[in-house]
Structure 1
Amino acid sequence: MPTTQADPIDDRETRRPDMEVMLRSLPAPHQEIIVATYFGHRTAHQAAEHLGLSPAVAKARLYEAMRSLSGMVDTCWPGPAEPSVAGNTARRIWRMNIPKRRTAAR
């Protein structure tokens, strides 16, 4: 009798961390910079202007926020990945969870 194996894609979907829960667990300044950049489709400089911050402060907050998210993702979804620059894991998850930006046809 053949055994059935779990589909690795389905398993990955089941284990996908809930980014909204993770985002809400961040301090308010980190939430603001994530929302301004990723959901607002802004660069760090644009987000800084939008939030009334210096570009250096915005970049530092974004770095720390992504570092925190990366740690949460690695805790919730361990894998064989090599240690990476802060935020790479979180960025990969964000890309899977956030709809792509639509660009105007030229």
Structure 2
Amino acid sequence: MKPRFLSSVPSPTMFVPWVPGGGPMPTKEPIYLSYDEYESLRLTYIEGLNQEEVAERMKISRGTVWRCLESARNKLVRMMVERRPLIIADKPPQPPEGPST
């Protein structure tokens, strides 16, 4: 994978759906938004850059930017429609490796 340039790496952040009345949130598998996806969204929708400019900033191809944006939008919509938590982190946590019992 080609290295990407990110203006800053956000600390892992979680967004959870609001439950009216403050009841407990049903446990659902979270959706993970990668740092690449986060940065491509930020540059496109907050800074107002086009895909070519985003690609230049992140030092990746325009096609990769398009894939990052498409994946990020899909994840955001699934998070809202399915009422699942969204975590901004590079990778889901891995279970500890060790001897199986």
Normalised TM-score (structure 2): 0.49
The structure with the largest strand share of the pair is 2
Normalised TM-score (structure 1): 0.47
The structure with the largest helix share of the pair is 1
Higher relative contact order (CA 8 A, sep 6+): 2
